[in-house]
Amino acid sequence: MAASVERMCGAALRRSSVLTDCSFSWRKNLSLRKTLVIWKQPPFRTFFTDRRKLHTAPVVRTFRLRPFHFLVATGGGYAGYRQYEKYKEEQLEKMGIEIPIKLASKWEVSLYKSVPTRLLSRAWGRLNQVELPTWLRKPVYSLYIWTFGVNMKEAAVEDLHHYRNLSEFFRRKLKPQSRPVCCYHSVISPSDGKILNFGQVKNCEVEQVKGVTYSLESFLGPCTSTEDVQFSQTSSCNSFQNQLVTKEGNELYHCVIYLAPGDYHCFHSPTDWRVSHRRHFPGSLMSVNPGVARWIKELFCHNERVVLTGDWKHGFFSLTAVGATNVGSIRIYFDRDLHTNSPCYSKGSYNDFSFITNNNKEGIPMRKGEHLGEFNLGSTIVLIFEAPKDFNFHLKPGQKIRFGEALGSL
């Protein structure tokens, strides 16, 4: 009897052990499955409704699209695209292949003009006035020299520690012998730079680059009356051009010179002439590099500019300094009343100033090669002048030129 009870108790213990092992194994497998499920599935938060379960993404993964992010992304992408287009154009230019003209649409021009370039240019101007520590001047100027290929051997002062701020460095003077003035030609280059275009003015249209034009009247503005020339503001376009020509048999010529950031930033008188009038056009400060000039029609008419008009031995003569991005400051040495890149201005307005007074009937006489003005960074000089029909330019489009070298002669 005792043996039977012992056998029954042993069997019960064995069954209990098996059940315990099975329960432990089942719990272990369930735990492992839960672990695998949790590892595979993202940690969604769950909400229960009467009909179905709703899952929401983790807070960490939520991305909120802000307007600033959108503007930075689109603006950066567009700028990168323009840089790529510019690179392709440079490669085609090096290979001697004519670059196809692709003008900007109205919305592209409006988008570009919406960029606060005037504010940025004023900020850049203030930054240029900040005096740099002596130990920092050489590294900063050396980086600029390396980036833009500046030739400091031509500077009157080669020591970089001499320039207290960027403005002084940009407006550095040259050694007198580094730019000899050509005496055998009637018109010389007023500055260092690159020839964008030149030739005769036809149908009151001027080429800023080959194939891209701007209106002569829009660029110079309505004509003023002087002692020698009588202008009519109600004249037609061709009549406007004809009125600028004061002598029979003469033609109107133009020349566009682009100053790169690494060029000498001062400009000089291109010939012997008298300056009688100054007109200041406030406006945008878009870039004027050759790529943009090929892209935006009437670019020079959009930008801020200072137009100096007068006469030389063959009739009408004008020199226009065109502002650009970071070049809102245009200085004319004999005109202390000129203030460019003002915070407020009326769109389409201009300011006139006459140098001819009761005490000064001649205006401002300028000698060939005499200092005339300066930019704070690279920009553009446009010459429009009257000359006999046998006037010839000694230039090629795209060539580099230096102040004092010949532009053309009779």
pLDDT at 296: 86
Greater confidence, 160 or 40? 160
Residue 378 tokens read as 């690279």
379 is known as an active-site residue: yes
Span 20-41, average pLDDT: 47
- Collapsing DSSP to helix, strand or coil, 216 comes out as helix
Please write the tens of the pLDDT for every residue from 279-307.
Answer: 999 888 888 878 788 888 888 888 889 99
- Whether 228 shows a pLDDT value over 50: the answer reads no
pLDDT of residue 308: 95
The residue from 276, 284, 318, 379 that is catalytic is 379
**Can you give the pLDDT at residue 123?**
81
Q: Given CA atoms 225, 368, 255, 338 in this order, what sign does their dihedral have?
A: negative
- Compute CA 208 distance to the chain's CA centroid, rounded to the nearest angstrom: 16
Residue 55 is a catalytic residue: no
Q: What DSSP string describes 92-108?
A: HHHTTPPPPP-PPPHHH
Position 100 confidence tier, pLDDT thresholds 50, 70, 90: low
Q: Which of 254, 268, 277, 302 is catalytic?
A: 268
pLDDT of residue 76: 63
Start-to-end C-alpha separation, the chain: 144
pTM of the model: 0.72
- The phi, psi pair for 395, rounded to 5°, reads -135, 165
| Pairwise CA distance, residues 373 & 290, whole Å | 22
Backbone φ and ψ for 179, nearest 5 degrees, come out as -135, 75
Strand partners, 266: 374
User: What rounded mean pLDDT belongs to the chain?
Assistant: 78
How many CB atoms within 10 Å of residue 397? 14
In contact, 113 and 284? CB cutoff 8 Å: yes
CA distance 385 to 186: 12
- pLDDT at residue 384 greater than cutoff 90: yes
The first and second tokens of residue 126, run together, are: 């203030």
**pLDDT of the residue at 321:** 93
- Give me the residue label for tokens 């109600």: 234
Bridge partner residues of 187 (DSSP) = 408
Q: Clarify whether 335 is annotated catalytic.
A: no
Predicted confidence (pLDDT) per residue in 239-286, tens digit: 788 888 888 889 999 999 998 888 888 899 999 999 999 999 988 888
Among candidate residues 145, 149, 133, the one with its CA nearest the CA of residue 169: 145
Residues 309-357: pLDDT tens digits? 999 999 999 999 998 877 667 889 999 888 887 777 677 788 899 999 8
pLDDT interval class at 238 (50, 70, 90): low
φ/ψ (deg, to 5) at 125: -65, -40
Dihedral Cα 356, 218, 122, 166, nearest 10 deg: -70
Residue in 121, 191, 192, 335 annotated catalytic: 192
Q: Is residue 231 over pLDDT 60? A: no
Per-residue pLDDT for 232 more than 50? Answer: no
* pLDDT at 197 exceeding the cut of 60: yes
